[in-house]
A and B are shown apart, each in its own frame.
Chain A
Amino acid sequence: MCLLDSGYVAAQSAAKPVDLSGSWERRDDVGGGSYGGIFEKIIPKAILKPEYIEANRRETARQNAGDVVSFALKWCQTFRYPFLMQHSAAWRIGQTDDEVIQIPEIHTFVRHIYMDGRKHPDPQRLTPSVNGHSIGRWEGNVLAVDSIGFTPGGGTPGGGHIGASTRLTERFALLDGGKQLKLTFTWDDPSIYVKPHTYEPSYYRSPEDSYALGDYCHADDPLQQGSVVRQKQV
């Protein structure tokens, strides 16, 4: 048994990492009818503490009153993670020996997942950021990512919130011969959630000849009502 276990560990550590690199995009794989509709079908409502339920109620009331353009969208402010994963725009993965990076087409920062075995910095010295601080490791064929240090104030699909102490764990798993990338998100923060908020969207590999599109968001443009990504079809 001991020999078997040792052999298994050795085989795991010697295994080549799965190649996640390429362009990934959302598709309506559940009959949602729209990008928002897809998430409504697959993402459960976050189970929140009362003050966050009340905050969501106020936000819904504001939108129902017709105030649907958020300040951040109108002013082209930097999107916070995980917004790039909810957007219709594709995003790309770059993969080196030390890092997996997620490169957005929309106006936000590249997300760095450090794979070299480093730890998170001391929270007292960690500068919060829109993507947080992420470290990853391979668990067999699955990339497991742990993130902390998010700038407070962001949100997640399903009505979740992101605070200073929020932790995100993600699992990236390739399916269907590498054509599909299934992510499992789990947001946890006892000050916000009654229980961890988990959901599993899928992304699909773009055609081999696809290329990153430009992002257009000009806050000086009087017509700017939010973020618009040019989607000229090739």
Chain B
Amino acid sequence: MLTTPCNRDQLCGRSKYRLYLWGRAKQVFKNIDRIVFAAVIVCSSLNAQDAKNATPNLSGYWQLQFDSRNVPRAKLTPQAASANQEELTKRDMFEVRWCHAFGVPYLMGTSPLQIAQNRTGREIAVVFSTRNPGRHIYLDRQHPNSETFDATSNGHSIGKWEGDTLIVDTIGFGEEGLTAIPGGGRRTKDAHLVECFKLIAGGSQLSVDSTWTDPNTFTQPHTYEFRYHRLPKGFEMPNVDCDPADEARGKFLLNPPGTQVP
């Protein structure tokens, strides 16, 4: 399921170079077939070790700034373009009022957020200051069987490293939460999100390219980029609570429903 929209040219170029080297080796060494098995074992081992050592560390606290978003307008299907925006916003306000799980992509637009990259390299968590479930990115795994997976507002995410870029593939979205996608359109159960996480500016910033595809919503893949700024060491995550029992808050949000979702 994992697709690789990030750095395609670079990866293809690397493969071509390996083929070229193989051709040259065949010309130079007569007994190449005899030594190739041992060489492959050694190289695979070295590559795996190199890859592990070279994996960037995304762990830390990250913040969006006023100039952190580059979001083009999405090309929507007629159905998505004609959706009743007033009704959708009213629905969003209901979700906020009752503290439902907001989900992706809304949470990726909140800050600060924390990325915790496990030492084992098996999982990366993205957690938020609002009272919402964290995202779990399971590395080098497959998505679960869709027949048994309960859709969630964060979906199910798997990831793999390609060079210095973490490619994250997410499906299994539910309809709960704040579904607006930056640039236009809404998350549906058929949405498919591919994100490319890459450290830039010497590790002081994190670029996240998000590409959504969904035949219900988009006529072509919709891509935008957020750039998060690393917060200094020692930062502590605030807790932004949400209390559905707070009636005054409920009245404030829904009587009448606001027209702007935070």
> Is the Cβ of B245 less than 8 Å from the Cβ of A219?
yes
Closest to B135 in A: A212
> Is the Cβ of A76 less than 8 Å from the Cβ of B233?
no
Tell whether B255 is near chain A: CB-to-CB under 8 Å.
no
Closest to A71 in B: B245
Of B100, B148, B149, B243, the residue contacting A78 (CB under 8 A) is B243
Chain A residues near B193 (CB, 8 Å)? none
Tell whether B10 is near chain A: CB-to-CB under 8 Å.
no
Binding-face segment, B32-40, B46-54, B126-134: B126-134
Interface size of B by CB at 8 A reads 42
Tell whether A47 is near chain B: CB-to-CB under 8 Å.
no
Chain A residues near B241 (CB, 8 Å)? 78
> Is the Cβ of A99 less than 8 Å from the Cβ of B244?
no
Of B114, B116, B242, B245, the residue contacting A95 (CB under 8 A) is B116
B132 CB to nearest A CB, Å = 9
Interface residues on A, range: 35 or more
Closest to B59 in A: A96
- Contact indicator per residue, chain B 229-242, by CB within 8 Å of chain A (1) or not (0): 00001101101011
Tell whether B118 is near chain A: CB-to-CB under 8 Å.
yes
Tell whether B120 is near chain A: CB-to-CB under 8 Å.
yes
A152 to B145, CA, bound (A): 43
Binding-face segment, B63-71, B75-83, B136-144: B136-144
B107 CB to nearest A CB, Å = 13
Chain B residues near A37 (CB, 8 Å)? none
A104 to B16, CA, bound (A): 45
A216 CB to nearest B CB, Å = 9
> Is the Cβ of B243 less than 8 Å from the Cβ of A75?
yes
B142 CB to nearest A CB, Å = 9
B61 CB to nearest A CB, Å = 10
Closest to B132 in A: A107
20 A/B residue pairs, CB under 8 Å, sorted by A: A19-B120, A76-B98, A92-B136, A94-B116, A94-B118, A94-B125, A95-B118, A96-B118, A96-B119, A101-B114, A101-B127, A110-B114, A114-B236, A129-B239, A130-B239, A214-B133, A214-B153, A215-B133, A219-B244, A232-B150
